[in-house]
Amino acid sequence: MTATQGAASPPGRPRGAKHRRSGDPVRCALVMPGLGAGGTERVVSIIANGWAERGWGVSVFAFAPANETPYYTFHPKVAVHRLGLAPSPYPALQATFMIARRIAALRKALRQLSPDIVVSFLTRTNVNTIIAAAGMGLPVVVSERNNPELQDVGIWWNWLRARTYPRAFGLVTMTRGALEFIPEALRQRGWVIPNPVIHPSVPARRPGKGVLTAVGRLVPQKGFDILLSAFAEIAPAFPEWKLVIWGDGPERANLEQIRDRLDLGRRVELPGLSARPGSWMETADAFVLSSRFEGWGNVLTEAMAAGLPVVSFDCPWGPRDMIEDGVVWLARRPATT
């Protein structure tokens, strides 16, 4: 897969940006909310490691506690900066104060590093990064990692996105559908770049124990409630198969209740996070993606790279861009509510 661009030529260098001397390594800053097990963190680790191997100076900034260990491994030459002030639910006034503190902390860090380019990930972090870099002459590229049409970031963040994104140097989405959602003025400075995937090291032969696997944060977007209902319908016809849903999140209790109500207690497991990134593939015989919507669908790409049989909902937008119906079974589009 190759990147496509919304404009006929790259955007120019922002006014006031400093010029790098020939021969100096490129200094890049990557900004994301945390260091957890999500798809964004996975992609940032791949990008950071690849750039470090090229000899670039790479710094990752995350609003993570000082003692937090990244779930994904970074190249020894990647500098990981934990800024603290992790995003959490706060009352409105306190939330505003915390956002201001995050912006101030990031602005101080960017001023000290003085990178050649800043790339930020996820809507709220993108907004914070654009504000933090204001007036510093730093080109900021923002990356939308989800489906901006269906992801509910709230009225306030939608308002801020509409007013800050036009100040970005450029924007990256993973699908053409996501780019089409962006206002025309910014779309001209946008690129469609699908997510990279590292070819997994997995056994050539599947375990053969009848394990249908799903992976993702336990949130409504991932559609695991739909998956449980669908599995309950076919379970009697396939008594040797079980469903394993890897991941954690706020929907765990609800999903466990649905599982028990459907009398699937012995057929469905929710073991939490896998011990190592991608280790879920070692026990999987087939993979299913049940999301209501996606930005891309990293785990689907990883499952395909591992040679797993795959079933996916035709959710907007990622799966349709990466798989061919008939080669991989593309199920009907699910409801998004």
Residues 139 and 244 in one domain: no
pLDDT at 218 over 80: yes
- Answer yes or no: is 198 within a domain: no
Q: What is the extent of the structural domain holding 118?
A: 4-192
Instruction: Read off the pLDDT of residues 45-83 as tens digits, 9 standing for 90 and up.
Output: 999 999 999 999 999 999 999 999 999 999 999 999 999
Q: Where a domain ends, among 129, 157, 192? A: 192
Residue 33: name the closest of 65, 79, 57 by CA. 65
pLDDT range class, residue 2, cuts 50, 70, 90: very low
Residues 11 and 71 in one domain: yes
The torsion angle over the Cα atoms of residues 193, 78, 202 and 228, rounded to 10 degrees, is -60
pLDDT value, residue 226 = 96
CATH number at residue 184: 3.40.50.2000
Q: What is the pTM of this model?
A: 0.86
Neighbours of 117 (CB within 10 A): 18
Neighbours of 206 (CB within 10 A): 19
- Answer yes or no: is 202 within a domain: no
Q: Coil, strand or helix: which one is 78?
A: coil
Residues 56 and 138 in one domain: yes
Residues 186 and 233 in one domain: no
Residue-wise DSSP of 172-241: EESSHHHHHHS-HHHHTTEEE-PPP-PPP---SS---S-EEEEES-SSGGG-HHHHHHHHHHHGGG-TT-
Residue 183: name the closest of 155, 156, 149 by CA. 149
Instruction: Read off the pLDDT of residues 267-316 as tens digits, 9 standing for 90 and up.
Output: 999 999 998 999 999 999 999 999 999 999 999 999 999 989 999 988 88
Cα 228 from Cα 226, distance rounded (Å): 5
Question: What share of the chain has pLDDT > 90, as a percent?
Answer: 69
* Structural domain total, the chain: 2
CA 292 to chain centre: 15
CA 310 to chain centre: 20
Residues 107 and 237 in one domain: no
- Answer yes or no: is 205 within a domain: no
